[in-house]
Amino acid sequence: MTLRPLAPEPFTPPTDRDMLASERREFVRTHRTCVFGTPRRADGPAMSIVYYVPTDDDELLVSTMRDRGKAKSVARNPKVSLCVLDERWPFSYLQVYCDAVVDTDPELVVDVMMAVGGRMSGEPLGEDTRPFVAAMAEEEGRVVLRCRPYETFATPPRHLHSNDQEEPLTHWASGTMPWNATDPG
């Protein structure tokens, strides 16, 4: 497994149709933030904004503390949702449904924290920071949530570009599709 570097440009979804399966995967691979959702014992889902790191075998890795709710929830129930956010206008999103596990491998934990630091700053962290990141990981009791996508849901962005548009604003339905679906034709 190899962690993917931060993409120089995030994939821009089409605004006139639903994303193809390959476009949905590219959207996830080239973005960096999501709303991480887990089921709660009562009430609605727990949600938090996190950075994630995609791998070359399509896992989505999230760093968190072992004692935080995300890790505890995944240990109880592996079903999670990641609502991947586009950081550019017109805003769009892609819901990714995953099976998750908690991984405590110290080397992976530090690798993911280094990659998240690079995503937060916009450039990779130097190897000279690795010992500091490793110390922080140990002090904070960090783990990695390994999320394996199995399905996606998308709605293409549809926005008013001015108040005097000639064409009426329209919307259309979308739906879920398997993560590994093939494009038509």
Is residue 135 domain-resident? yes
Q: Is residue 61 part of a domain?
A: yes
> For all residues of the chain together, what is the average pLDDT?
91
Tokens of 102: 């908690």
| Residue 92 CB coordination number (10 Å) | 23
Residue 115 domain-assigned (yes or no): yes
Residue 165 pLDDT > 60, yes or no?
Answer: no
First to last CA, the chain: 31
Residue 57 covered by a domain: yes
Q: Which domain holds residue 38?
A: 21-157
Strands (E), 13-127: 33-38, 46-51, 53-54, 60-65, 79-85, 93-103
**Distance, CA of 2 to chain centre:** 16
Is 182 part of a structural domain of the chain?
no
Q: Do the domain assignments include residue 46?
A: yes
Q: Say whether pLDDT at 169 is over 80.
A: no
> Residue 53: inside a domain, yes or no?
yes
CB 154 within 8 A of CB 96: no
Contacts of 63 (CB under 8 A, 6+ apart): 50, 51, 109, 112, 113, 116, 142, 143, 144, 145
Domain of residue 91, CATH code:
2.30.110.10
Q: What is the pLDDT of residue 170?
A: 57
* pLDDT tens-place string over residues 95-121: 999 999 999 999 999 999 999 999 999
Residue 129 lies in a domain: yes
pLDDT of the residue at 112: 98
pLDDT digits (tens, 9 = 90+) for 58-93: 999 999 999 999 999 999 999 999 999 988 877 789
Cβ atoms of 35 and 148 within 8 Å: the answer is no
Q: How many domains does the chain have?
A: 1
Per mean pLDDT, which range of 11-20, 30-39, 153-162 is the poorest? 153-162
Residue 166: pLDDT band (50, 70, 90) is: low
pLDDT surpasses 70 at 2: yes
